[in-house]
Amino acid sequence: MNNKPLRDLRQPVATRPGSKPPVITFPCDYPIKVVGDAAEDFAAVVCQIVTRHDTTFDAQGLEVVASRNGRFQSVRLTLRATGETQIKALFTDLKATGRVHMVV
């Protein structure tokens, strides 16, 4: 039998005793997934907001996936992140649309 203690998966990694938050070196390519209600213009709205925060954003790599029942859409993209402030502002603007349920 293994004597290793079990990890508590309910706690985020950054708050586990003895762990450190992950370090991101900026600038970097930063993948995100935006989930919201399915609509014809949802991906366009997401692209518009991302472009405000990353003027070099290219929508060529954009991937739109509908949920199983078609009620939601996820938009997967990669942007050029320059810092934590930019990422936080982007997430805030996406959530402020009222159409975005989650940004991962």
Percent of residues, the chain, with pLDDT higher than 70: 81
The CATH number linked to 89 is: 3.30.70.260
In a domain, 7, yes or no: no
For residue 49, being part of any structural domain is answered with yes
Handedness of CA 26, 29, 31, 37 (dihedral sign): positive
State how far the Cα of 72 lies from the Cα of 36, in Å rounded to an integer.
6
Assess if residue 67 is contained within a domain.
yes
Residue 11 has pLDDT above 70, yes or no: no
Say if 9 falls within a structural domain. no
> How many residues make up the chain in this entry?
104
- The predicted-structure confidence for 64-101, as pLDDT tens digits, reads as follows 999 999 999 999 999 999 999 999 999 999 999 999 99
Read off the pTM.
0.77
Query: 42-53 and 84-96 are packed helices; what angle lies between their axes, rounded to 10 degrees?
Result: 150
Q: Per the structure block, which two tokens stand in for 18? A: 């003895």
Let me know if residue 50 belongs to a domain.
yes
Count of structural domains within the chain: 1
Q: Are strands 63-66 and 100-103 parallel, antiparallel or unpaired?
A: unpaired
Residue 75's domain comprises: 24-103
Q: Is the dihedral of CA 65, 59, 79, 96 positive or negative?
A: negative
Give the model's pLDDT for residue 23.
84
Is residue 64 in a domain? yes
